């Protein structure tokens, strides 16, 4: 009992410290979070525009499609990423925008032949988790007016209930990126230590136990890893493009974790259940 009380006290002190530290940026945190979640879509759209000829030639050859059809697909892809990402940032048509961007992720994986690339797959699942948290935040805002969305009509479920389930799904998907990091690379003492600490934080986020400070820890860890492992500014050629893509995808996952810190873990979490007792 004494150990449990000490652990709870330490957790409360950490959360209070996080609240104090984040107070100046707290009003802006939801906007920053949404921007970071969709930043990878902006980067991808601008990269396709900058490499238009290369992208058309590559997809035409790989998918055995006419160049005109490939050009139409890429133009639609760019438009969808730019338009629906902007909608999420400005909190307009969020449900439709989330569905559209989820579709972009799936279709891109098929078109570029990356469906069976495990690290790419897990990273994109994490980005999907960030998008679901955007949807959850939108449903939470609409809860008071009880507006229904035909796109997400589920039998006998209120906006509040849907918000809880999307928030739970978002938490689970967000941390899958770490599974990819753990199983990708050579093992060593530091890697084992990092993996154990990271997995503990990931489990805490999934179950919603001290979710805010475990998510804050993961944000700090991801930022350090992103700078060290995805330093695309010092690279050139195709390697620069790949690392840059990974860098912005990781930023999107950081955005999802920041949104989790902003809106909390939701009703289906240990933290919320604890308040009921």
Tell me, what's the pLDDT at 5?
58
Tell me, what's the pLDDT at 233?
84
Identify which has the larger pLDDT, 157 or 169: 169
Give me the DSSP letters along 122-190.
HHHHHHHHHHHHHHHHHHHHHTTTT---GGG--TT--HHHHHHHHHHHHHHHHTHHHHHHHTSS---HH
Whole-angstrom Cα distance, residue 22 to residue 16? Answer: 10
pLDDT at 255 > cutoff 90 = yes
Give me the DSSP letters along 55-81.
HHHHHHHHHT--HHHHHHHHHHHHHHH
Whole-angstrom Cα distance, residue 256 to residue 205? Answer: 12
Tell me, what's the pLDDT at 22?
62
Q: pLDDT tens digit string along 117-134?
A: 888 888 889 999 999 999
pLDDT at 152 > cutoff 60 = no
The model's confidence at residue 52, banded by pLDDT at 50, 70 and 90, is very high
pLDDT at 100 > cutoff 80 = yes
**Residue 189 is encoded by which pair of tokens?**
């003492």
DSSP annotation of 234 reads G
Q: pLDDT tens digit string along 167-218?
A: 889 999 988 877 776 666 566 676 777 778 888 888 888 888 888 888 888 8
Tell me, what's the pLDDT at 34?
94
Any idea what the Cα angle at residue 174 is, between residues 169 and 176, rounded to 5°? 105
Whole-angstrom Cα distance, residue 245 to residue 199? Answer: 24
pLDDT at 7 > cutoff 90 = no
pLDDT at 74 > cutoff 90 = yes
Whole-angstrom Cα distance, residue 220 to residue 35? Answer: 18
Q: Which helix (H) or strand (E) holds 228?
A: helix 211-229
């Amino acid at each position: 009992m004494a150990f449990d009380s000490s652990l709870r006290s330490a957790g409360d002190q950490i959360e209070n410290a996080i609240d104090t530290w984040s107070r100046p940026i707290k009003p802006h945190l939801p906007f920053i979070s949404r921007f970071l979640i969709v930043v990878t879509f902006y980067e991808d759209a601008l990269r396709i525009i900058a490499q238009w000829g290369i992208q058309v030639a590559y997809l035409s050859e790989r998918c055995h499609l006419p160049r005109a059809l490939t050009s139409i697909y890429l133009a639609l892809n760019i438009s969808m990423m730019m338009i629906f990402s902007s909608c999420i940032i400005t909190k307009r048509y969020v449900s439709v925008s989330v569905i559209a961007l989820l579709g972009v992720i799936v279709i891109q994986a098929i078109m570029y032949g990356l469906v069976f690339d495990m690290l790419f797959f897990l990273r994109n699942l994490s980005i999907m988790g960030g998008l679901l948290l955007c949807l959850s935040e939108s449903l939470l805002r609409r809860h008071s007016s009880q507006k229904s969305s035909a796109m997400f009509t589920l039998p006998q479920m209120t906006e509040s209930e849907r918000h809880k389930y999307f928030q739970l799904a978002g938490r689970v998907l967000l941390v899958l990126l770490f599974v990819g990091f753990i199983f990708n690379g050579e093992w060593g003492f530091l890697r084992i230590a990092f993996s154990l600490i990271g997995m503990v934080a990931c489990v805490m986020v999934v179950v919603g136990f001290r979710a805010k400070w475990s998510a804050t820890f993961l944000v700090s860890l991801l930022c350090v890893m992103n700078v060290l492992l995805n330093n695309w500014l010092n690279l050139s050629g195709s390697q620069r493009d790949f690392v840059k893509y990974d860098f912005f995808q990781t930023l999107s996952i950081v955005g999802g974790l920041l949104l989790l810190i902003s809106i909390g873990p939701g009703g289906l979490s240990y933290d919320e259940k604890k308040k009921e007792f």
